[in-house]
Amino acid sequence: MGDARRDPPVRALRAVRARSAVPGGGSRRVIPLDSSAQPASPRRTETRHHPEGSTCHHFTFHRLTCDEYDQLRARAAGRCELCTTPESETGGRRLVVDHFWDAGTEVRFVRGLLCDRCNAVMACFDERKAWGVASRQWEDAARNYEARSFQQPTAEAWSLVSEVRKARRARRERMRPTRSEPARLASSDGRLDASVRIPLDRPSDAAAALRAAMTADQLAALIAALQSSQSEAA
Ligand SMILES: [Zn+2]
Ligand SMILES: [Zn+2]
Ligand SMILES: [Zn+2]
């Protein structure tokens, strides 16, 4: 106790040692006594882009070092790497790191920097989400963008990627509403009335629901259309 003033650094190290030796304190971080003996944790060094000097997002979430992140930013040159929109004109006013990731196969690689909209396109490309009319137009561009991925997977990993996508697509197709589920009514102005249900597996109930929802003229036109497509098919 009395030597506390004489040699404070040694005392500090002893305190660190004592704390990490606490029984049951296994989760406590052991601070190396000689910092030159071990490289510093990347969580301590990959902080260059963080405003408060904490570990950078790109390292925590994408395992990209600060140098790699700078290379990625230089490659993107201030534009979304899929649609080429300048960063300041993107919806989120920033570009986000886009990566492929699959928990099952543990395949993960960073593809590039994207605007939020193109990030959503890649979710469709990865079969995490169903394509929409707007996103589908970007499918070829998405394929070209992925081919230029910042981190290039091995040939083996690429084949896992396509298997993962195939499995995701099959799973989504299995979950698609079946014919026996009620359909929702849509009108030509694009509005949906979700409260109206047409039970497709019960024709007389379906007819009653349509009769209640449509005008007489609309019903007559529908009946005519059904009959004409029937004769076309025959
Ligand atoms: Zn950084
Ligand atoms: Zn974009
Ligand atoms: Zn991220």
Q: What is the mean pLDDT of the chain?
A: 81
> What is the reported pLDDT for 225?
84
Q: pLDDT of 25-38, one tens digit each?
A: 444 444 444 545 56
In the reported structure, the alpha carbon of residue 82 is separated from the centroid of ligand 2 by a whole-number distance in angstroms of 5
In the reported structure, the alpha carbon of residue 138 is separated from the centroid of ligand 3 by a whole-number distance in angstroms of 21
Q: pLDDT of 220-229, one tens digit each?
A: 888 888 887 6
In the reported structure, the alpha carbon of residue 69 is separated from the centroid of ligand 1 by a whole-number distance in angstroms of 6
Kindly identify the ligand whose nearest atom is closest to the C-alpha of 94.
Answer: 2
In the reported structure, the alpha carbon of residue 90 is separated from the centroid of ligand 1 by a whole-number distance in angstroms of 22
Q: Are 182 and 199 in contact (CB under 8 A)?
A: yes
Average pLDDT over residues 92-100: 95
Cα 101 off chain centre by:
8
Average pLDDT over residues 134-153: 97
> What is the reported pLDDT for 5?
43
Residues 6+ apart with CB under 8 A from 31: 16, 20
Residues 6+ apart with CB under 8 A from 198: 182, 183, 184, 185, 206, 209, 210
| pLDDT, greater one: 24 or 179 | 179
Weakest mean pLDDT among 42-51, 133-142, 205-214: 205-214
What CA–CA distance (Å, rounded) separates 77 from 87? 9
User: Which H or E element spans position 194?
Assistant: strand 192-198
In the reported structure, the alpha carbon of residue 115 is separated from the centroid of ligand 3 by a whole-number distance in angstroms of 12
pLDDT band at 189 (very low <50, low <70, confident <90, very high): low
Weakest mean pLDDT among 1-5, 149-153, 189-193, 220-224: 1-5
Query: Is pLDDT above 70 for 98?
Result: yes
**Calculated CA dihedral for residues 178, 179, 182, 186, nearest 10 degrees:** 100
Average pLDDT over residues 109-125: 97
Query: Domain residues of the chain, as ranges?
Result: 77-175, 183-224
Kindly identify the ligand whose nearest atom is closest to the C-alpha of 43.
Answer: 1
pLDDT band at 234 (very low <50, low <70, confident <90, very high): very low
What CA–CA distance (Å, rounded) separates 119 from 126? 11
3-state DSSP of 77-132 = CCECCCCCCEHHHCCCCCCEEEEEECCCCCCEEEEEEECHHHHHHHHHHCCCCCCC
